[in-house]
With several copies, the nearest count.
Chain A
């Protein structure tokens, strides 16, 4: 199956500091990819490149097999398909109230008002924030702002949603609710996170950023102790437990239920 969105051997950096060198990531339609890596490893840089915000100095980003060219017309087209939600919702929210903010993207797509309204309602509904519609954005709690920021991207109905640390700072129930919401979107999602347990339980593909490169594979990549170490991650407890118990890791135990089954009770 061919890639919907991909970064092909990209090199990216600021001034003379190279963040990613020869890094590739392939995103197939409908996949759920967890992008893992340490603070400062280049996860955000890679997402920015995929979204078109940063231009690789070497290599290309492709959408639907087409090389992305960084001129205004092509970038605009790219942004209709690929939306990035930043880690800090305050970097994204700027309007006086929630509805206005969420309507910003749809109106920029050139939709007429009625369609834009429908999109806003749909997005607020998908993110379960309809009750916040008329609230001033700066009065919302952190978790609420995170959801509204995602709604702003979802309202553009992108084919790929890139999320930078969407669960950071949320309490456990907030994380669970957000993950359930994302599962219900039906969009291709790439989610950058530090949370290896979350990655294991949610993702169907894993990509690990370390030393300027990206390794992509099935979640069983998280069994590779050397990779885990070099990426400053830790092994998900499910895998560590099963490994240390000397039990088979295939199929990969991803939830507590899988682990219980594997232990045989």
Chain B
């Protein structure tokens, strides 16, 4: 069972870029993220956003509807977060009482939204092409201590197990008319659900510990991971695209 909560990861596993080196995708995505942060909204953020959407929908072949769903949460935050930036308490501008809005504030807020959308899209270049766990494995190369990465990758595995149980339990409650219950009873049901999922998480962890011990687990959770070939063309095109954005900004400035 897949849920809305893991659609990005599902897409990443199926992505044609899945087999690219993580380091190369990180390079592309992070340099785009930084570009979105450091260049002005026009043309920098707009170019980064266009480039990211092109990469995600084009070579990485992610469905447009999926990208749209994914963007709902960050865009909601951006709008709510930019609102207080747009308005002023006191000062000039148009408004009611001390709450004022003027061109400066509105421009800053729109700029923020542009940075936010471009940055998030740039991050999605990585997220929709690279399963979370590949990023964790890649961090090993950066000398992050093994126990921390072991915990992170076990977290990844367990969250799918727990998520499917949680969703199933919630669905089963609705089947027994849980959504028709009184407010008070729904809160009790929620607490019981969370409590039993905690108990089950514990049980899962203990069982998995025993299962892994049987397979020789003592201290480290070492596994083989395939070596991916480095692609100079990919690196070259990535750097050229980012450089192109910067050049355009510089020219237009």
Contact = CB atoms under 8 A, between A and B. Distances in A.
B236 interface: no
A110 to B, nearest CB: 7
A91 B207 contact: yes
Interface stretch (B20-28, B47-55, B102-110, B190-198): B190-198
B35 to A, nearest CB: 30
Interface in B187-207: 189, 192-193, 195-196, 199-200, 203-204, 207
Interface residues of B, number: 53
Interface in B100-135: 131, 133-134
Contact of B225 (A84, A100, A108): A100
Interface string B153-194: 110110011000100110111111111110001000100110
A30 interface: no
Contact of B10 (A84, A88, A139, A156): A139
A74 to B, nearest CB: 13
B64 interface: no
Interface stretch (A113-121, A192-200, A239-247): A113-121
Given A83-B214, A92-B212, A138 B196 contact: yes
Interface string A63-89: 000000000100010011001101010
A91 B169 contact: yes
Given A86-B168, A90-B204, A104-B173, A76 B223 contact: no
A14 B215 CA distance: 23
Interface string A132-145: 00111111000000
A92 B172 contact: yes
Nearest to A117: B224
A148 interface: no
A80 B157 contact: no
Contacts of A80: 177
B132 to A, nearest CB: 8
A136 B13 contact: yes
B224 A116 contact: yes
Interface of B: 2, 10, 13, 131, 133-134, 153-154, 156-157, 160-161, 165, 168-169, 171-181, 185, 189, 192-193, 195-196, 199-200, 203-204, 207-208, 210-218, 221-226
Given A76-B180, A76-B216, A92-B168, 20 more contacts: A15-B2, A79-B177, A86-B168, A90-B169, A90-B200, A94-B211, A95-B189, A95-B192, A100-B224, A100-B225, A104-B212, A104-B216, A104-B221, A108-B185, A109-B180, A116-B224, A135-B13, A137-B157, A138-B157, A138-B200
